[in-house]
Structure 1
Amino acid sequence: MDTEFSDQEPSSQELGLEEITTKLLFLDKWRDIFSYHRLGTNNTTSQKCGGDPGAVDEVGAGLLQRKGQGHLPSSSLCSVPKPSIISSKLGGSLISLAMATKLRESIFGTTAHVFSWDWRKAHFKFRDPFSDVAFALEVGKGGARSIQMAVQASIIKHLLFPAKGMDCPFHSLHDLSRQKQEQALAAALAGILWAAGAAQKATVCLVAEDACVAWTPDSPGDDFTDRLQLFEFSEKEATEKFICDHLQCFKGEGSHGVILFLYSLVFSRTFERLRNDLDITTTHLLQPNAGGFLCRQAVLNLILTGTASPNVFNGCEKDESQETLRGVVIRSDIGYLQWGKDASEDDRLSQVGSMLKTPKLPIWLCSINGNYSVLFCTNKQLLSDWKMERLFDLYFYSGQPSQNKPVHLTIDTHSHLWERDQSEDQHRTGRRFFPVEMLIRTKWREATITWNGATPFC
């Protein structure tokens, strides 16, 4: 039916309804502020905003600063839609209170925490198809970024080195339709969950229609954990097909896609295996930080290796009290490199071992001063033939919105010019090399890095 527009003045009844609606929406915004700090209702699902947003945002910012939580962006008070809902008739099993309690304790160490705004809005969304960054995910700020970039590394793996057929050339990362992007995301998520389940099973968590868990006042609800529906699969292909069929639950705006993936990761690993993976240095997966939560290394290692090893060194070590600290015991397809000191870490324990430095495929998740990125090579033989490591190309993707194509780097491991440059630059500037270069030299110690016309950054 066509809608007709009229120049007539609205009636007093219409004005009354409009005023009531505005006031209700204004109250919703206040409720979001209080529920974010667990001062009011447990329903933290945001609605469209009405009233005077500036006034409410100012109050919300003040509440955050008084609680030492940092500044919450004004858009956060109204921009997180409800998660994608599936029908309870789809099957699977509903989460129980006991399972939900263990889930939150495994992630937060307590049931008193709920996910912050940056986590709730994080999902898996690709950049434009058929572009220089068609392979790349859009990633935001906050703790969920590290998971998005770890999944990004797995997406590159599936695009460049598919399980069947020949390796794909670099330009194949550009020639991606929306459908190919979604297939790569489904394959990456399924592969990670399958590895976490010890190649025996995988569990996928989605949000159902009705709540089945009643939280207590000491354990606030979040409007989606209490509605989880778990789907278990005993075949990797079935896992991938199910994720592909329900990909909107991971990539849609407001889907809580990264959280659902983290939940799926924990259930795929199982609480028992997860407990055995961790050690005295790590008892749960996230740590509070500036009003949000950061991933501990165990989360990243679980995505990369299938095991939630809390540390980056090889094998096991003893600490000063003779407690066993667990590191990485297998080479996985994707590796890990880091540069920059974390003051909370022991230098000895923070050194990345050869298991992560030398993966089966030339793809690395990178941490540069806590900022995550991906480094990769299109030559599958790079790490299996020493002759390939004399002169080769790497590509670097930082995940920054401003990066419109991966940076092309040429690595020369037999030229020692960088050592001469170091002594020369020592008398010129306080900063001799860019962090990306220092990161690469944690793997190839005396490498010379050429930026091929790109402006060095990071």
Structure 2
Amino acid sequence: MDTEISVQEQSPLGLDLNEITREILLLDRWRGIFRYYRLRSNSTDSQNRDGSHVSAEETGDGPGMLRPKGQEQVPSHSFCPVPKLSTVSSKLNGLPISPAVATMLQRSLFGNTVHTLGSDWRKAHFKFHRPFSDLAFALQVEKGGAQSVQMAVQGSIIKHLLFSREEKHRSLHSLCNLSQREQEQALAATLAGILWTAGAAQKAIVCFVTRDIPSTSILDCSRDNFIERLQLFEFSEREAAEKFIYDHLQCFQGEGSHGVILFLYSLVLSRTFERLQKDLDISTTHLLQSRAGSILCRQAVTNMILTGRASPNVFNGYEKGRSGETLHGVLARSDVGYLQWGKDTSEGDRLSQVGSMLKTPTFPIWLCNLSGNYSILFCTNRQLLSDWKMERVFDLHFYSGQPSQKKLMHLTIDTHSHHWEGERREDKHGSGRRFSPVEMAIRTKWKEATVNWNGASPFF
């Protein structure tokens, strides 16, 4: 009895040992049911694209890798093609993830041990546009649940390139004049910085996948849900984490790396389950949500990237819910801000007013949530938010993250024009002009501001 109590006290997510035991026994039953399908795939070796052979264990189809009901072995053409997972050697001296931590990681993400991330997540990685191009600073992003993570990281990349490097007088030209090495250095510094902040400036944990598969398995995982194969590398200095990430950057940015998933796992483990429990509230008990066939990030994930805390709401401080419960908002001014407009499909109908902690960040960079589509607004003038005179007429640059965008959009914002003059100017194309969600998001920060797209078509 004493042992059971102590285990529960050590589990920050409040996991019940008896419940875990019951799930393990249930998985044993599934093991027998699907033994036939596993034996067929395990009896032959797989073949790499280069013609070399890999064993079934290396592909993740070895003993102990179970398939949930409805996910029996079917011909490969039934799946969306996903590049083979990049792995690292276990000789790097990482700490293999324990079954208990693997279970808590799964539960903190999904609230259960059944769900897995789909092909859009598995394909997502951190890949820049071509060096020395108009979008050399920008990540290539596709639609899907991982988009919010990639674009939130994008905001921090811009912060690093414009305001965090030793070189002074950073400009728009400097963002486009990046070599591949500078891109990689910026990505490593950004990822390490986000993880370090999430770890309360005390530690950062980086997750990679080992080629070795554990001899025992307690999670009901397909070969693409590789939590059990993680190796954890813990760093007590930010610089050491940055160097380690840079040395193994291919595990985040290479095709087939599953880089965004690895970063998400690293982020959660750096934050620790204990801090997560304190960050979250009754409105959000886990970080991911299934909606319309996709796995989407909840606001807590976005806030964890922007602020280091997994605050589930966007208002300042704390508020009382309808039932009198305490809801947790943002507690400190963020480096990269956040604006939103429209209905967020990841949060259902709930759309709270963004507080000043996110609207007025330390640096003039904003992640914009436009009805669940994410983009970036930023200004190259660091003084924009520290000198009110700068906010009369100023320039913003807009990156949508969409493949169709080939260069930045240049917007001019006028916050002091009379609103009736702005209405006449903006209605010159005809009455009933539909305002762009970007403009509406800007006006949540600068009320009644006029937006000049400088000849470009407004983004919808």
CA 1:342/1:81 → structure 2, altered by over 3 Å: closer, same or farther?
closer
Question: Aligned residue for 2:267?
Answer: 265
Question: Aligned residue for 2:152?
Answer: 150
Question: Aligned residue for 1:225?
Answer: 227
Q: Distance in 2 between matches of 1:126 and 1:418?
A: 42
Cα shift at 1:198: 0.3
On the 8 A contact 1:418/1:447 being kept in 2, the answer is no
Q: Distance in 2 between matches of 1:198 and 1:364?
A: 22
Secondary structure of the 2:188 match is helix
Query: Any stretches of 5+ residues in structure 2 without a counterpart?
Result: 1-45, 48-52
Q: Distance in 1 between matches of 2:324 and 2:292?
A: 33
Residues 263-300 of structure 1: per-residue CA shift (max 9 Å, x gap): 00001000100111000110000000222200000000
On the 8 A contact 1:277/1:307 being kept in 2, the answer is yes
Cα shift at 1:39: 2.3
Q: Distance in 2 between matches of 1:385 and 1:248?
A: 41
Question: Aligned residue for 2:210?
Answer: 208
Question: Aligned residue for 2:72?
Answer: 40
Q: Distance in 1 between matches of 2:85 and 2:304?
A: 25
Secondary structure of the 1:166 match is coil
Secondary structure of the 2:85 match is coil
Residues 353-393 of structure 1: per-residue CA shift (max 9 Å, x gap): 00000000000000011100000000001000001001110
CA 1:227/1:384 → structure 2, altered by over 3 Å: closer, same or farther?
same
Where in structure 2 are the equivalents of 1:226-305 lying within 5 Å?
226-305=228-307
- Give the superposed CA RMSD: 2.6
Pick the aligned partner of 1:388 from 387, 390, 413: 390
1:376 maps to amino acid: F
Could you tell which deviates more after superposition, 217-226 or 422-431?
422-431
Secondary structure of the 1:332 match is coil
1:181 maps to amino acid: Q
Cα shift at 1:451: 0.8
Where in structure 2 are the equivalents of 1:355-374 lying within 5 Å?
355-374=357-376
Pick the aligned partner of 1:140 from 127, 142, 148: 142
1:251 maps to amino acid: Q
On the 8 A contact 1:393/1:410 being kept in 2, the answer is yes
Q: Distance in 2 between matches of 1:424 and 1:184?
A: 39
On the 8 A contact 2:337/2:365 being kept in 1, the answer is yes
1:313 aligns with 2:351: no
Secondary structure of the 2:442 match is helix
1:301 maps to amino acid: N
Secondary structure of the 1:351 match is coil
1:173 aligns with 2:205: no
On the 8 A contact 1:148/1:258 being kept in 2, the answer is yes
1:40 maps to amino acid: E
1:451 aligns with 2:440: no
Q: Distance in 2 between matches of 1:37 and 1:270?
A: 31
On the 8 A contact 1:114/1:221 being kept in 2, the answer is no
2:71 maps to amino acid: L
CA 1:38/1:122 → structure 2, altered by over 3 Å: closer, same or farther?
farther
Residues 109-153 of structure 1: per-residue CA shift (max 9 Å, x gap): 100111111011110001111000001101111100100000111
Question: Aligned residue for 1:439?
Answer: 441
Cα shift at 1:221: 5.5
1:131 aligns with 2:163: no
Residues 375-427 of structure 1: per-residue CA shift (max 9 Å, x gap): 00000010000010011100000001111111000111111256652799599
CA 1:422/1:337 → structure 2, altered by over 3 Å: closer, same or farther?
farther
On the 8 A contact 2:80/2:119 being kept in 1, the answer is no
Could you tell which deviates more after superposition, 424-433 or 201-210?
424-433
CA 1:427/1:380 → structure 2, altered by over 3 Å: closer, same or farther?
closer
Q: Distance in 2 between matches of 1:199 and 1:167?
A: 28
Residues 137-183 of structure 1: per-residue CA shift (max 9 Å, x gap): 01111100100000111110111112534241110011011111111
Secondary structure of the 1:374 match is strand
2:459 maps to amino acid: F
Query: Any stretches of 5+ residues in structure 1 without a counterpart?
Result: 1-19, 50-55, 61-76
Residues 313-358 of structure 1: per-residue CA shift (max 9 Å, x gap): 00000112111100001001100000113486566x6110000000
CA 1:218/1:93 → structure 2, altered by over 3 Å: closer, same or farther?
closer
Percent identity, aligned pairs only?
67
